[in-house]
Chains A and B, each alone.
Chain A
Amino acid sequence: MNLIYEPWPWYIAGPMIALILFLLLMVGKNFGMSSNLRTLCTLCGAGKTTDFFKFDWKSQKWNLIVVLGAIIGGYIGAHFLSNTTAVVLNPETISDLKTFGFESAGTAYLPTEMFATTALGSLKNLVLLVLGGLFVGFGARYAGGCTSGHAISGLSNLQLPSLIAVIGFFIGGLTMIHLIFPILF
């Protein structure tokens, strides 16, 4: 029972994600989180500016409830199901993060340099958070899905477009970390 308080290994987490996919399919829905960002645009009144956001947001209400659940789940996971939230990383990863100035590597869940509330005081950090978010939002909709919609749902349905998108995710991610991080940090 104590195992639940430890970080979950991949062979628990992976099957849990497949279970979530299964449950959503069995209630007649699909697994795709980024479409909620579009729904949130519509809720903010974006339907007035372009047709892409003109749809009945109520048809997506179920997915917003899943999001609400994901928020609650994060609270439960962090506050009731964890003794410690420090992520045990590969020592090599830790040492290269330290050269980039991420001293919190190995002792925190997220880098405090970016995600502690005080980090909002750094203009550079704020710009990075905004850029990261913009790329995720723009890219997910351009590609028609994110990790859940393409890498899990789409690939499970053997969709070639999803494979192309996932290859894109990796080209982008590898470029960011191997080529752009050394410039940024």
Chain B
Amino acid sequence: MRTLIYLLIGILFGITMFKSEAASWFRIYEMFKFESFHMYGIIGSALVLGILVTQSIKRFDIKSFYGEKIVFTPKAKSFSRYLIGGIVFGLGWALAGACPGPMFTLVGAGYVPILVVIAAAIVGTFAYGIVKDKIPH
């Protein structure tokens, strides 16, 4: 049953990414050129509502559908890992035109070369795991 719920949430996410064109390389390019409000509207409105959802859950101690406490793990305090890691991610996001969610959506949409991007992203994650202790965090 829970598996089915996760699958349905994923399907909803995939359809949204595809239909909103957030999975389009062109939209990412246009966003970084500041030539359209579209992506800012998507992220901005998701964020405003996301803040409302998250802060309401915390303030009113809303329980999950299963009656459990909803736990938010604060991100570890640091500066360099977020900035440097973020910059590296941004370089890739703009070049590949897809972040880790939409990448998978594009597989379903039938774009074969995105598999190369996904395989490389897995290798990139692996490379991070190897050099993790040698780079600033």
Contacts and interface: CB of A to CB of B under 8 A. Distances in A.
Interface of A: 4, 7-29, 33-34, 36-38, 40-41, 44, 46, 49-50, 52-53, 62-63, 65-79, 81-82, 87, 89-90, 92-93, 96-97, 105, 108-111, 114-117, 119-120, 125-126, 128-148, 150-162, 164-178, 180
Contact of B129 (A38, A152, A158): A38
Interface string B35-67: 111111111111111111111010000001110
**Interface residues of chain A: helix, strand, loop or mixed (majority):** helix
B117 A133 contact: yes
Contacts of B52: 18
A27 B88 contact: no
B105 A73 contact: yes
A37 to B, nearest CB: 4
Given A14-B41, A19-B12, A131-B95, 7 more contacts: A18-B45, A34-B125, A66-B6, A74-B105, A90-B35, A116-B113, A140-B125
The bracket for how many chain B residues form the interface is 35 or more
B125 A38 contact: yes
26 contacts: A13-B45, A25-B54, A25-B70, A29-B6, A37-B121, A62-B3, A69-B10, A73-B105, A77-B18, A77-B108, A78-B108, A87-B27, A89-B30, A110-B25, A129-B116, A133-B121, A137-B122, A137-B123, A139-B88, A139-B91, A140-B125, A142-B135, A146-B100, A155-B50, A168-B86, A172-B86
A168 B26 CA distance: 21
Contacts of A140: 85, 89, 99-100, 121, 125
Contacts of A36: 100
Contacts of A71: 10, 14, 104-105, 107-108
Contacts, number: 495
B135 A11 contact: no
Contacts of A17: 13, 16, 42, 46, 50
A21 B129 contact: no
Contacts of A158: 51, 54-55
Given A136-B117, A146-B99, A141 B125 contact: yes
Contacts of A154: 75
Contacts of B105: 70-71, 73-74, 77
